[in-house]
Amino acid sequence: MKVVVGISGGVDSSVAALLLKQQGYEVIGLFMRNWDAAINNDINGNPTLNNNICPQEQDYNDALEVCKKLNIPLKRIDFVKEYWDYVFTYFLDELKLGRTPNPDIMCNKYIKFDMFLKEAEKIGADFIATGHYARIVNGQLLRGIDDNKDQTYFLSQVPKEKLKKVLFPIGNMLKKDVRLLAQQNNLITAKKKDSTGICFIGERNFKQFLSNYLPNIPGDIINIKTNKIIGKHIGLMYYTIGQRRGLNLGGNSNRGFVVGKNLEKNILYIAFEDDEEYLISDACIVDNINWYGKKVNKCTAKFRYRQKDNDVELKWYDDYVLVQYKQGVKAVTPGQACVFYDNDICLGGGIIKTVLKNNEKLWYL
């Protein structure tokens, strides 16, 4: 059986390829170039160079070394235009609406498990594989056994029919064991630092990066409790619900947090330590639903990647679901994913559109 593995230049995809090779598959590596590194700048505005090699090229060189070590071929494919059209444009459009998008989820949906799958099929692949911490058992998407690394949240928009041709070789492993296996097999990526944040931004100044694509429109910061102006924001797109850092509120900076936005008036609303009730909602409307099986009325859900599971009740409508959580949850944020679970089984997910409390829309947008 022929498997095309997405080799990113990191330790997870390296070990995924190693395991498949050990299991007797015919393994082909494929490196995806999704962003034009020539337009990348570091935190000081300079091109991101590492010994005159941009990080993307360094990743490719590491991927090449891994494939040489494993004696498998490595192909390189350019998805820069597709990434721009389907992921980055979505990212910018959501920011314009005052929401907090998750482009990595859309990258999985449109690039890694669509464009990449089509490319693999062109070269006769029976399966594709990636280094995600997730499992597929009896056709169902399950959490990876490493609770700290489980990535089903980011896979929740991948259609079920695409998952039929996907393997997750490291889904049954702990991260520490993945690194140990890489070290035992002398892979160059064994001790390589994990990438963090949005892939196309990298180790750069987020505000400076975004200013290349969206205009900064400063406005007032208002205390939601007193309705008094307490500062100036640098553009609503730079803030998300629950954010505490970078608010520039003088002596109050350490105590304040974002609770809402008014796009029409260009206002950022802030509350303080004793007023966390402004962050709490009890329901939300979720659209863009991708569901894997029979619809249920009760399950658990995560509204952010690192969040614990929350008990929820679901009311289904034609093109959205009303998600209710009587216990209340902090900082549920429009634009983020809401992902549903039945224990380890990922039931599907959608995108948070509107956040409610006592049947009324909150101040979020």
Range of the domain at 326: 277-361
Identify the domain boundary among 227, 242, 271.
271
Of the candidate ranges 53-57, 239-243, 326-330, the one whose mean pLDDT is the lowest: 53-57
- Please count the structural domains in the chain: 3
On whether both 251 and 316 belong to a single domain, the answer is: no
257-292: pLDDT as tens digits:
999 999 999 999 999 988 889 999 999 999 999 999
More confident residue, 57 or 100: 100
On whether both 7 and 108 belong to a single domain, the answer is: yes
Under the banding of pLDDT at 50, 70 and 90, the label for residue 317 is very high
Task: Indicate which residue of 107, 299, 338, 346 is catalytic.
Answer: 107
118-162: pLDDT as tens digits:
999 999 999 999 999 999 999 999 999 999 999 999 999 999 999
Assess whether pLDDT exceeds 60 at residue 253. Answer: no
CATH of the domain at 144: 3.40.50.620
Domain presence at residue 205: no
What is the average per-residue pLDDT within 12-39?
A: 91
On whether both 157 and 21 belong to a single domain, the answer is: yes
CATH of the domain at 223: 2.30.30.280
28-50: pLDDT as tens digits:
999 998 887 666 554 444 554 44
Q: Is 67 a catalytic site residue?
A: no
Domain presence at residue 192: no
On whether both 47 and 124 belong to a single domain, the answer is: yes
> Model-level pTM?
0.91
pLDDT of residue 197: 62
Task: Give me 196's structure tokens.
Answer: 């963090």
Identify the domain boundary among 165, 184, 203.
184
Domain presence at residue 210: no
The average confidence (pLDDT) of the chain is 90
CATH of the domain at 321: 2.40.30.10
77-110: pLDDT as tens digits:
999 999 999 999 999 999 999 999 999 999 999 9
pLDDT of residue 34: 86
Q: Is 299 a catalytic site residue?
A: no
What is the average per-residue pLDDT within 242-255?
A: 77
188-213: pLDDT as tens digits:
999 988 876 666 665 567 777 888 89
Q: How far apart are CA 296 and CA 279, in angstroms?
A: 27
